Amino acid sequence: MHELEPKQIDDSEQGQEQEQVKHIVPLRRYRSIFDGKRVVELGSGTGYVGLMIAACFKPSHVYLTDLQTHVHGLQRNVQRNAEALRTGVQVHVSELAWGSSEQETGLLESIAATNDDVDNLEAGQVDVILGTDVAYLRELYDPLLHTMNRLATARTLILLGLNRADTRMTFFRQLEQDGFEYYKISDLQLPKEYWGQDFGLFEIRRSHA
């Protein structure tokens, strides 16, 4: 497993994201889920989580997305960490404001353009969506769910790391109303120091009902 040097991440938010990524990287069972897949990270910030995925696993494409104010910093961090990424993994940076139909469409078109298998349309869709601490404000729920609905297909896996202290049950009710099902991954699959803490890692998929 390759290590991504934290010193290469250039942003004051680095410390917080280092803590968040610890909840994802130890989950070795997700190797088969990431390898060869198209991964989109929502609200990337510095890009630490997405870059760790690109360094520790072998997805085909990783899309780091955030508001326009973060795009330059994301591009800089991708360049600084290029040597740490697994061979063959392509990392992209895209502006994405949750709830923006125009930007969601642009991202989906960019992802579809990387599909070399013209006979398999599913190969140009989003396989995995990542997000950490993305539902800490009530006003974020609607735009976040709008984007999740646009990007997720029936086979997309969504992994959200949420702080249970500031993520209300309203968010989970809206998930269900929008046709998603979710469950919390057991603390036993996280580092021991995080057992019983407020942080929770949730698997979310479209409901089959």
Assess if residue 4 is contained within a domain. no
pLDDT greater than 70 at residue 98:
yes
Q: Is 35 part of any domain?
A: yes
Provide CB contacts within 8 A for 192, sequence distance 6+.
none
Identify whether 121 is part of a domain: yes
Strand, coil or helix: what is 86? coil
- Give 192's DSSP letter: G
Amino acid, single-letter form, for residue 30: Y
Q: Give pLDDT, residue 196.
A: 66
Mean pLDDT of 81-101: 96
Q: What is the bridge-based pairing of β-strands 128-132 and 38-42?
A: parallel
Per-residue confidence band for 122, with pLDDT thresholds at 50, 70 and 90:
low
DSSP 20-51: HHTTTTT-GGGHHHHTT-EEEEES-TTSHHHH
pLDDT over threshold 70, residue 49: yes
Looking at residue 1, its pLDDT comes to: 35
- Rounded to an integer, the average pLDDT of 39-68 is 95
pLDDT in tens, 165-193: 888 999 999 999 999 999 998 877 776 76
Cα 81 from Cα 83, distance rounded (Å):
6
CATH number at residue 138: 3.40.50.150
Which domain, by its residues, includes 63?
A: 18-206
Residue 74: inside a domain: yes
**H/E element, 176:** helix 169-177
Residue 114 φ then ψ, to 5°: -90, 0
Q: Vertex 66, ends 59 and 175: CA angle to 5°?
A: 80
The larger pLDDT score, comparing residue 203 to residue 4, is at 203
Q: How many domains does the chain have?
A: 1
Kindly state whether residue 11 falls inside one of the protein's structural domains.
Answer: no
Please choose, from the candidates 208, 199, 205, 206, the residue with its C-alpha nearest in 3D space to the C-alpha of residue 24. 199
> Could you give the angle at the alpha carbon of 78 between the alpha carbons of 81 and 27, nearest 5°?
70
Provide the pLDDT for residue 133: 92
Q: Assess if residue 23 is contained within a domain.
A: yes
* Of residues 23 and 37, more confidently modeled: 37
Whether residue 7 is contained in a domain is answered as: no
Spatial distance between the Cα atoms of 6 and 29, rounded to a whole number of angstroms = 24
The lowest-confidence range among 89-103, 163-177, 188-202 is 188-202
Which pTM does this prediction carry?
A: 0.85
pLDDT value, residue 6:
40
On the question of pLDDT at 59 being above 50, the answer is yes
> What are the tens digits of pLDDT across the range 1-31?
334 444 455 554 444 444 444 445 455 666 8
Instruction: Name the residue among 49, 45, 2 with its Cα closest to residue 23.
Output: 49
Do the domain assignments include residue 1? no
Q: Give the phi and the psi of residue 154 in degrees, each rounded to 5.
A: -65, -20
